[in-house]
């Protein structure tokens, strides 16, 4: 359970933990109304950067009133949510000042990866050491400037991917909307032909992401777009690293975080304090 960016990390967690449990479901905290289904043998993982998110607090109180168990994943040790939770994992992302919560998202996803590996009895310390080495090498090689130049003057954008890449694009879309004020539409690749192709013309731009080993997966989608004179920006090349599949959601979101940051700078916007938004949503 989570809201906004935290909810997207929950979707990654659901994808990972399906191999560990009989049933795993993600829900928006603001829309979780199945209180009659809360049972004592159900664990509710609630993700909140601040531990003060109003919708998360409300649902946590309801879960506790039904004797449900809560595991809180948070960046704040002593929060309102901490007092309601039965268990707590701190992401230790240090203080997050920016509204966009970029490092917090990576830490939340990493926490779900960590849980997944422990449940599989993996030697996660070796995996993490390899991850850190690969990440440092990866960060030094990212060049987002050409994409920034391509998109800095646009006001709408389509994002297309499938499987876990689609979840990454949900978060990427949120980042571009909230700090660049660009309308973005994240699409599951197979759904593009079910209506959304009507938006494709010579003025449209579509970002495609594919981190799977099957590099032909989205070729049909790209052909559908280019045959209608749409512009395609393939971001997959930024994630072409030999990294373990579990860690790919972290590697794949970073270029989009950088993209949204640099577009904001190019537009003269403050990427840390977007208009109309607050760091912690403490009202319903």
Give catalytic residues, as residue numbers: 279
Q: Is residue 236 within 8 Å of residue 208, measured between CB atoms? A: yes
In terms of Cβ atoms closer than 10 Å to its own Cβ (0-12, 13-18, 19+), residue 222 is middle
Nearest CA to 134 among 247, 214, 213, 211? 247
Cβ 179 vs Cβ 257: under 8 Å: no
Record the tokens describing residue 276, joined without a space: 């109309």
Phi-psi region of 236 (alpha: psi -120 to 50; beta: other; left: phi over 0): alpha
**Maximum Cα interatomic distance, the chain, rounded to a whole number of Å:** 56
CA distances from 261 to 102, 127, 283 (A): 10, 29, 27
Helix (H, G, I), strand (E, B) or coil at 208: strand
Q: Is residue 9 within 8 Å of residue 105, measured between CB atoms?
A: yes
Identify the H or E element spanning 207: strand 205-208
Q: What is the dihedral of CA 102, 105, 107, 112, to 10 degrees?
A: -160
Q: Concatenated DSSP letters for 34-49?
A: -GGG--TT-EEEEEES
The total number of residues written for the chain in this structure: 284
Q: Using alpha carbons only, how large is the chain's radius of gyration in Å?
A: 19
């Amino acid at each position: 359970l989570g809201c906004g960016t935290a909810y997207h990390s929950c979707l990654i967690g659901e994808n990972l933990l399906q191999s560990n449990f009989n049933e795993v479901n993600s829900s928006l905290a603001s829309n979780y109304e199945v209180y009659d289904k809360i049972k004592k043998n159900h664990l509710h993982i609630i993700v909140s950067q601040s531990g003060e998110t109003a919708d998360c607090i409300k649902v946590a109180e309801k879960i506790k009133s039904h004797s449900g168990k809560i595991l809180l994943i948070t960046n704040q040790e002593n929060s309102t949510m901490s007092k309601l939770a039965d268990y707590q994992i701190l992401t230790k992302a240090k203080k997050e000042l920016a509204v966009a919560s970029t490092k917090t998202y990576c830490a939340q996803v990493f926490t779900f990866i960590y849980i997944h590996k422990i449940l599989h009895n993996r030697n996660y310390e070796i995996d993490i050491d390899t991850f850190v080495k690969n990440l440092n090498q990866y960060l030094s090689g990212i060049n987002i400037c050409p994409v920034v130049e391509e998109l800095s003057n646009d006001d709408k954008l389509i994002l297309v991917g499938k499987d876990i890449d689609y979840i990454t694009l949900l978060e990427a879309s949120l980042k571009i909307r909230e700090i660049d004020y660009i309308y973005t539409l994240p699409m599951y690749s197979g759904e593009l032909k079910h209506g959304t192709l009507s938006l494709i013309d010579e003025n449209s731009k579509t970002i495609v992401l594919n981190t799977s080993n099957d590099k032909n997966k989205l070729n049909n989608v790209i052909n559908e777009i280019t045959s209608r004179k749409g512009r395609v920006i393939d971001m997959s090349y930024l994630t072409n690293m030999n990294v373990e599949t579990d860690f790919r959601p972290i590697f794949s979101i970073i270029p989009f975080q950088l993209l949204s940051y640099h577009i904001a700078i190019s537009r003269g916007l403050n990427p840390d304090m977007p208009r109309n938004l607050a760091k912690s949503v403490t009202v319903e």
